[in-house]
Amino acid sequence: MCCVRACTDTTPPPASVFQTEMRLQDQQLARQLMRLRSDINKLKIEQTCHLHQRMLNDATYELEERDELSDLFCDFPLVTSFSLSTPLKLIGVTKMNINSRRFSLC
């Protein structure tokens, strides 16, 4: 009779067992979230580095192209995109106006 009672006894385990299991699951989820956050940050850094590398490559290519053009047309100075022609200066258009696009065409 003692054996039957022990096998059929369905009393729930103490609350501390549930708390321990919940705490372990909580710690596991926290570690998983920290790993995900770290992975996301690494991806953001890689993406930013890739973008900056592309910008540097573009700038390098433009400078090389400008050097090649200046070798071909050594008699004519290249007009940079930041310089203004004299007629524009005469009507009051300045570099600041062009860069901020605050000038009118009327």
13-69: per-residue pLDDT in tens? 677 888 899 999 999 999 999 999 999 999 999 999 999 999 888 888 888 888 887
Residue 106, pLDDT above cutoff 50: no
pTM across the whole model: 0.46
CB 94 within 8 A of CB 82: no
* Residue boundaries of the structural domains of the chain: 18-100
For residue range 67-105, list pLDDT tens digits in order: 887 777 765 555 555 555 566 666 666 665 455 555 455
